Structure 1
C-alpha cells in the first residue's frame, strides 16, 4: 500500500489511509494525506469498499480477497485485480465482474474509465 500511496501522491492525489487499528502505532505514513482510525480490524474493509469509486485489489492476501468479495456484492463500482487473486467458478471459469490487469496503468484505466 505504501507504493500505491506514493504513486497517487506523486500525481497530486489525495491519499486517505484507513487504519484497522487504534492508531497508537504511528507506522509509515509518509505519503498519506489524512488518516482515518477505525479500530475495527478487518471490518474496516467494508468501510473501504463502501467509500470507494473503484476497487483495485493488489496481491493475494485474505484481506484483499474479502475486499474483492465485498466490492462485488456491493456492485456499482469497478473491481480490478492486479496480481494475486483470480476468482473462478466451480467449473474453473473466471467469475464475471472482476477485471484482471497486468500493470498499474492498465488497472487505473480499467478502474476509472475516461
Structure 2
C-alpha cells in the first residue's frame, strides 16, 4: 500500500511551495491527499500529477465536480468543515503549507491522532509542531527521513 501524506493549507501566495511539496511526495512514491479544492490543495495535486503521482481529494460538499482538476480520486463528504478529520486521518503524516483556521483545526486533529505534523516556515505557528525551512525538509520530516 502506498504511503499517503496529507497536504493542508490555504493562500494563493503558498501555491509554489505546495506544488513543490506535492511533486516531492509523488517522486517519493506517496499518494497526495488534500481537501480537494483550490490554492494550496490544487497546487499540491498539480505538483504530484506533474510527475505522474496519485492524488485524493476529500471535498466538503456533495459534488465530485467541486474537486480540483488534478484529483484522481474524490471522496464526497457533504459535511463541510467536518471533512477536516478525514483529511487529517487519511495521511500517514501531514504537511501544512500556509493556512488559517481550517488548517489549524486539521493540525490539531492530526496531532490528536498521533500523526507526524510539519509546518512550512512562514505559515502557522503552533507550539509543539515541527517547522521546516523548505518543501524538501518538510517532505523529509513527514517521511521520517529527518528527525
Cα offset, 1:49, TM superposition? 1.3
* 2:117 paired residue number: 79
Which of residues 52, 59, 65 is equivalent to 2:98? 59
Cα offset, 1:28, TM superposition? 5.7
Which of residues 23, 42, 59 is equivalent to 2:81? 42
Larger radius of gyration: 1
After superposition, the C-alpha distances for 1:48-97 in whole angstroms (9 at most, x for unaligned) are 1111111011113110000001111111x21010131111xxxxxxx22x
* 2:141 paired residue number: 110
Of Structure 1 and Structure 2, the greater helix share is in 2
Distance 2:51 2:138 in 1: 16
Q: How is 1:13-32 mapped onto 2 (pairs within 5 angstroms)?
A: 13-23=53-63, 26-27=65-66, 29-32=68-71
Distance 1:12 1:103 in 2: 22
For normalisation by structure 2, the TM-score amounts to 0.65
Distance 2:101 2:63 in 1: 22
Of Structure 1 and Structure 2, the greater strand share is in 2
For normalisation by structure 1, the TM-score amounts to 0.82
Unaligned runs of 5+ in 1: 88-94
Unaligned runs of 5+ in 2: 1-40
Aligned partner of residue 144 in structure 2, secondary structure: coil
Paired residues, what number? 104
Moved over 4 A (4+): none
Decide whether the 8 Å contact of 2:59 with 2:67 is kept in 1: no
